[in-house]
Structure 1
Amino acid sequence: MARPFIRTLGGGAACLATALALLAQPYAHAETATWENAHKTGVLRCGAAVAAPYVMRDPATGQYSGYFVDLCRDFAEHVLKVKAQFVDTSWDNQVAGLQSGKWDMAMALNKTPERAQAVAFSVPATDYQISLLINEKNPKFSGAGNSLADYDKAGVTIAVISGTAADKAVSAAVKRATLMRLPGSDETRMALMSRRADVLADANDTNHLFAMANSWTREVLPVPALAKQGVSFALPLGTPAEDLAQLDAYLTQRRESGEIDKLVDKASAEIIAGKKAQ
C-alpha cells in the first residue's frame, strides 16, 4: 500500500513537480468529493467487514449491527441527511475498495503508518490496546491501580495467547512477572478462572466482552499503554479536508459525550445475549 516518495533536486524539477500537482488537483477532487457524491446519490456507502463488536451481520436477515455500523448510520442520516448503505466485504479488501470507489468509507480500521500512505483516516472512534483482566478479589492486587508496575511483580503469572500481538507487547514490557503462554482464548480464560494465572492479557475489546459476562473480573487499561492504536473510519486518500473535518467533529463530540462507550456496551451485550453473529 505504501508509495515511494521521489526527492527532486534543482529549481526546474521542483517547478515541474508543482505544476503537475496543480494540474492533478481538479481531477483528484472530482474522484474523492466524498460527501458531495453522497449528497448526489442520496447514499453513503460503508464497507462492512465483519468483526464483533465493531461490525456484525445477522446471517438470517443480512442486517448489520455493531457500534461502527451505528456510527456510520447516524452520521449518514443525521449529519449528511442521506441513507447509509453497507457493502459486504472482507478485511483484505477494505483499502482496495476505497481506492477503487466501491464504498465511501471503510469501518473500523486501525490507523497505522503504512495504511496512512494509502487512505485518509478520521480521528479514532475508539482505541485498540492490550488490556489486563484480573480477579478483583485477588489479594496480590489490593490497592493496585492502572500502572503496569502494579501487575508486573514477582509471584504474578500473566496468561497470554502465544504468538499474538498481546504476546509480543507483553513480552517486551513485562520484566518481573511470569508469562504463561497458551494456545487460545479458551485456555487463557480458564487459567484466569481457575486462578492458575493472576492476569489475562488480551485485546481490550475481547477482554471487555469477557468482563461484562463475568462480574468477578476487573478490566485494567495499563499505563503505559500496550500496543495502543486508534480505530477509525478510513476514506479515500484525497478526501477534501472539509469533509474529514466534519466527520472528525462528529466523532469527537460522540466520544467526549460518552455516546460511543454506550454503543460499545450495547454491541457487547448483544453478543453476550447471542442475538448477533460474530
Structure 2
Amino acid sequence: MTYVKRLLSLPAFVLALLMAIALTASHAMADPNATLDRIKSSGVLKFPVMVGEEPGYIKDPATGNWSGFYVDWATDIATLLGVKVEPVETTWGNLAADFQANKIDIVFGLNPNPKRGLVVDYLNAPLFTDAWAIVAKKGFEKRTWAELNDPSVRIVVQKGGTMQVIAEALTPKAQIIPVEERPLGVLEIQANRADVMILAVFDAIQVQKQINGEVILPKPMLLNPAMIGIKREDGNEGYANWLVNWVNQQRALGLAQGKLHAAFEKAGIDLSVLPTEFSF
C-alpha cells in the first residue's frame, strides 16, 4: 500500500488532526521578517495621503508634492529602512481595500476599528492621542452627545471613518450626512446643509478657521488614540515589532509631541481649546 493510500485509510479524525498539525507547522515556519524584507527589496515605502487633511497631509497645488507631519513620519521610517517614500492618494474609507490590494505598506492616525481590524493589524502603542470634537458655526448651543442626539441636528461625517461610527452609536436620532472627504463636509456646513461635523479635535481646530466657527468637545470627552496600521499577513511580526520600537522612542523622547506642536503652530492652530487635563 502506498503512502497516500495508507494516509487515506486513517480515521477521519486522525487525518484532520494531522492536517491541523501540518498547517500549524507551516505558519510557525513563516519568516517573521517577510514583510520587512519585501519593503526593503521593493525600494519604496507606500503610504496613504489624503486631500483636505492638513496639517497631517499637505499637497502643494503647484508641484503636487506632499508634506505634513504624517509625511514626515513616513519619510523618517523610510530613511531608517533605506528606501524611498511613495505617497498613494486615497481616502480613510478605502484604506482596508488599499492594504488588501498591496497599494500601501503603512498608515498613520488610524482609530481603533474592529471591522477594519479584520484585514489590518494595529500596533499596540498609539503614536499620539487626541479627542473627538465637533466643529460648528458660532452660536451652536449643544454641548453634550446626548443633546446632539436630536432629529433636528444635522451631523456631517466622513464616510467609512470612525466619526461615522461615533455618530451612528451616540447620535442615531440625528440626521447623519456621510461625505467622502473633509472638504465636502466643510461645504455642507458653509452651505447650511449641516449644523456640525465630527472630527478629531486637531482637525476640528483647523476647520474652525475655514467656517469662522467654534470647536466643541462634547461631554463626556471621547479620547481618540492615533494608531499605526499595517497589512494583516504572515511574516509581518518583525515589521510590527520594529515599528513599535520606533513609536516608543518617538513618545518617550517627546519627538512625536514636539513634531505635532511645531506643525500646529506653523498652521496657526490654536490649541487653547483643549482642556488642561488633556495631553496628547
On whether the aligned pair clears a TM of 0.5, the verdict is yes
Look up the SS of the partner of 1:29 in the other structure.
coil
TM-score (normalizing by structure 1): 0.60
Partner of 1:6: none
TM superposition shift of 1:97 = 5.2
Shift of 1:174: 5.4
Contact 1:44 1:104 (C-alpha < 8 Å) held by counterparts: no
Instruction: For 2:260, give the aligned amino acid.
Output: D
Unaligned runs of at least 5 residues, structure 2: 1-11, 179-184, 270-280
Distance 1:18 1:106, change over 3 A: farther
Distance of 2:262 and 2:63 partners within structure 1: 21
Q: Give the CA deviation at 1:65.
A: 1.4
Equivalent in 63, 66, 69 of residue 65 of structure 2? 63
Partner amino acid for 1:223?
P
SS in 2 for 1:104: coil
Mark the CA change 1:159 to 1:232 in structure 2 (over 3 Å): closer, same or farther: same
Structure 1 contact 158–201 (Cα < 8 Å) conserved? no
Match of 1:50 in 2: 50
| 1:77-116 equivalences in 2 (<5 Å) | 77=79, 80-91=80-91, 94-95=95-96, 98-99=99-100, 101=102, 103-116=104-117
Q: 198, 202, 206: which is aligned to 1:202?
A: 198
SS at match of 2:229: strand
| Aligned AA (1:22) | A
Provide the C-alpha distance between the structure 2 equivalents of 1:181 and 1:105, rounded to a whole number of angstroms: 30
Q: 1 CA distance for matches of 2:117 and 2:50?
A: 22
Distance in 1, matches of 2:259 and 2:153, equals: 30
**CA distance in structure 2 between the aligned counterparts of 1:187 and 1:101, rounded to whole angstroms:** 33
Q: Which one-letter code corresponds to 1:161 in the other structure?
A: V
Which residue in the other structure is 1:16 paired with? 19
**Distance change in 2, residues 1:68/1:235 (3 Å):** farther
Alignment length (residue pairs): 242
For the structure 1 residues 213 and 99, does the alpha-carbon distance in structure 2 shift closer, same or farther, using more than 3 Å as the test? closer
Structure 2 partner of 1:244: 240
Shift of 1:202: 1.8
Question: 2:127 corresponds to which residue?
Answer: 125
Return closer, same or farther for 1:33/1:264 CA change in 2, 3 Å cut-off. Answer: farther
CA shift for structure 1 position 34: 3.0
Instruction: Provide the C-alpha distance between the structure 2 equivalents of 1:94 and 1:45, rounded to a whole number of angstroms.
Output: 15
Report the residue type matching 1:209 in the other structure: Q
**Separation in 1 of the partners of 2:100 and 2:141?**
51
> Structure 1 residues 10, 169: closer, same or farther in 2, change over 3 A?
same
> SS of the residue aligned with 1:113?
coil
- Distance verdict in 2 for CA 1:107–1:167, change over 3 Å: closer
Structure 2 CA distance for aligned equivalents of residues 163 and 55 of structure 1: 16
User: 2:31 maps to what in 1?
Assistant: 29
CA distance in 2, matches of 1:214, 1:87: 29
Match of 2:9 in 1: none
The answer to whether the Cα contact below 8 Å between 1:182 and 1:188 also exists between their aligned partners in 2 is: no
C-alpha contact (below 8 Å) 1:120/1:236 kept by paired residues: yes
**1:188 matches 2:184:** no
The correspondence of residues 156-195 of structure 1 with structure 2, limited to 5 A, is 160-161=155-156, 169-170=166-167, 172-173=169-170, 185-188=186-189
Instruction: Provide the TM-score with structure 2 as the length reference.
Output: 0.60
- Shift of the 58–36 alpha-carbon distance from structure 1 to 2, 3 Å rule, reads same
Is the Cα–Cα contact under 8 Å of residues 72 and 84 in structure 1 kept in the other structure? no
SS of equivalent residue, structure 2 residue 86: strand
Per the TM alignment, residue 244 of structure 1 is displaced from its structure 2 partner at its CA by: 1.0
